[in-house]
Amino acid sequence: MPAYRVDLRVEDPKPVFAWLVEHVPQTSLVRRIAYKTVEGWYMKIVFAEQRDAELFHRKWLPNAPSHLVPPCGQRTSDETPERDTNATHSSKSTMTEPPQIFRADALPEHQSGVRRMMADAAGESYVAVTTLDHAQKTPDGIVILEGDDGGQIYVVVPAAIVRCSEATLHVLLEDLDALEWRDMSAARVYYERRPMGSSVAGGMGGAVVVSGVWVHLRLRHLETDIGAVLNGARARL
């Protein structure tokens, strides 16, 4: 089933959530997520119906050049990443001003936008490394496979127990994303430093660093096969 996603950056998510309750059938709301960042609230709203996604888009992004919302993983031929460059925000701005699409363009490619910004907002450190080899040489290095730009964490595993290659990790990510969000443009493999037992921020409950392989509940039936890929025993799911 296709899904239709709209991202926003706003100063207060409450009016957005209230509008959704009043104007969109609950059966059409696949996901509603808001992350607090140093630049405001980053929201991801996913709809089951395109008409509801486009109604939402017209309401909260009135200055966008187009209100067409294609299915996740698809872009129209003339579509570019949306940014309302005319919108400005000050400490006194309100939800009546046109919000901006938030994209973490300035972050290094190897850093998670969601976790970096949440760490910044909380005044905490965030450490990511660029390769599996680097993560494996770090005592608290972990591997994170995620989809939907952090909206769902698929797998978290200590880097030290991974026996497959980076290329195989990306194949595994493709297989997992094909079962969930079907949008590889929003799927990533990250290598980060996190102590055992710590949480990994993300949508749908996030994840936890454990001594073995952590697998999201929706994919738990594949835990043995995922482990076999990570161990190097098989090439893919």
Where are the chain's structural domains?
Answer: 1-103, 113-230
Model confidence pLDDT, tens digit, residues 15-56: 998 898 889 987 888 877 777 766 678 888 889 899 999 999
| Residue 226: partners with Cβ closer than 8 Å, 6 or more residues away | 155, 172, 176, 213, 215, 219, 237
> Of 189, 193, 208, 190, which is closest to residue 138 (Cα–Cα)?
193
Residue whose token pair is 């294609």: 70
Tokens of 216: 């999201």
So what's the pLDDT on residue 96?
Answer: 36
Structural element, H or E, at residue 10: strand 4-10
CA pair distance 9, 17, nearest whole angstrom: 13
What DSSP character marks residue 202? Answer: -
The pTM for the full model equals: 0.64
Give the pLDDT of residue 104.
42
